[in-house]
Amino acid sequence: MTVFPDGFETLLAASVGREDAAVVLDALQGPPSVSLRLNPAKLTECPFPDAEPVPWSPYGYLLKERPVFTLDPLFHAGCYYVQDSSAMFVGHVFRQILPQTAPGAAVLDLCAAPGGKSTDLAASLRERFGDNFSLLCNEVMRGRFGTLCSNLDTWGDHRTGCVSMDPSAFGEEPLFDVIVADVPCSGEGMFRKDAQAVAEWSPETVEFCAARSRRILRDIWPTLKPGGFLIFSTCTFNAQENDENALWAASELGADILPPPSFPPVKTTRCGSVLLPGFVPGEGQWVATLRKHGVSDGVRPADVLNLFRARRPAAPDTEGTRVEVDRLTALRYLHGDAVVLPADAPLGPVILCFQEQSLGPGKNLGKRCNNLYPKAKRIKMDIR
């Protein structure tokens, strides 16, 4: 049974009301949910039986239980991303404002690691604009930056790029049509998944996170074009980090807060939408949309991916004949082992595939296939 930190229950009740808080507290005693989001460029049907659609995501699915994703070759092929269903609501809000953006849109995912929201944004942008967009994904923490880059490599959209910069380093030029800022927070939406989040929560942490969020928003604000959109989100429930900061940003930085979408059982707060455990199956999220005062001049800057020298996803391997392999061979390949390909596989460069999805390169010598899968991405666990 989870013992909640001093002050958490009081702040939760003050933020969402006593009745809703009681439902949340009861739900936080249960197990976390499991969900994933398909990569529509690679997969259109959920590979797990009995999965249920996430209502606010055309690509999202809730699973009955957690499989061992590491042992699914489709996971390594970037066919889906394991993401909390509540976090997918940010993608829903993003899709609501996309019709008000134009081809060539420049989007910044400011606090992007590990990459769940980035890949969701990329899928939505590609669906609407094809190749005609730029998505710059930033992560200031160097230890998390590598994870972001790896996940975007696996996802495989070449109109995304990664940088690691403090928000203050982006400068003063209005470059972005949309900024998504899923800011670091006190992590109340992580309580079911991470005991450390419970241990580290305190009223002082909430105050610190709220102040840090204001600093982040203030620093990045000049780079948002007049008339541009800021999608501001957290994985926490309290009004101090959420509504109060949205009101501060609107007043101090100059923006209108857009009405949150009506999507029961998602609840609305003064400024945004809040997904509460017990009312939705996920772990929780809060999100609001602000529109910067002013009108854009319509001028498109240079490609922001080039402007910031963003690290791009590795180009997919194209040299070699595609060779379909079974699940065990695929897992051995992903583990880094030498494998034996079907007898009719051609000699020389090959691309190993599982269910028609590319896994990576090899060199078939006949009696064995040399494994050219990147060492950094290889499966570490026992695959037997």
285-316, pLDDT tens digit by residue? 999 999 999 998 887 878 999 999 999 998 77
In this predicted structure, the answer to whether residue 383 has a pLDDT above a threshold of 90 is no
In the chain, ranges of CATH 3.40.50.150 domains: 84-307
Pick among 2.10.109.10, 3.30.230.10, 1.10.10.10, 3.40.50.150: CATH of 84-307: 3.40.50.150
Length of the chain: 384
Among candidate residues 162, 209, 235, 369, the one labeled active-site is 235
The whole-angstrom separation of Cα 31 and Cα 305 is 40
Mean pLDDT of 332-355: 96
In this predicted structure, the answer to whether residue 318 has a pLDDT above a threshold of 80 is no
Q: What is the CATH number of domain 321-377?
A: 2.30.130.60
Mean pLDDT of 65-72: 96
DSSP H or E stretch at residue 363: strand 357-364
Token couple for 334: 């992903």
Give the pLDDT score at 317.
76
In the chain, ranges of CATH 2.30.130.60 domains: 321-377
Given the structure tokens 């230890």, which residue do they identify? 143
Between CA 2 and CA 6, with CA 4 as vertex, the angle to 5 degrees is: 160
Please confirm, yes or no, whether 235 is among the known catalytic residues. Answer: yes
Question: pLDDT tier at 243 (50, 70, 90 boundaries)?
Answer: very high
Give the pLDDT score at 319.
84
DSSP H or E stretch at residue 146: helix 142-155
Q: What are phi and psi of 55, to 5 degrees?
A: -60, -30
Helix (H, G, I), strand (E, B) or coil at 156: coil
Residue among 233, 317, 325 at smallest CA distance from 272: 233
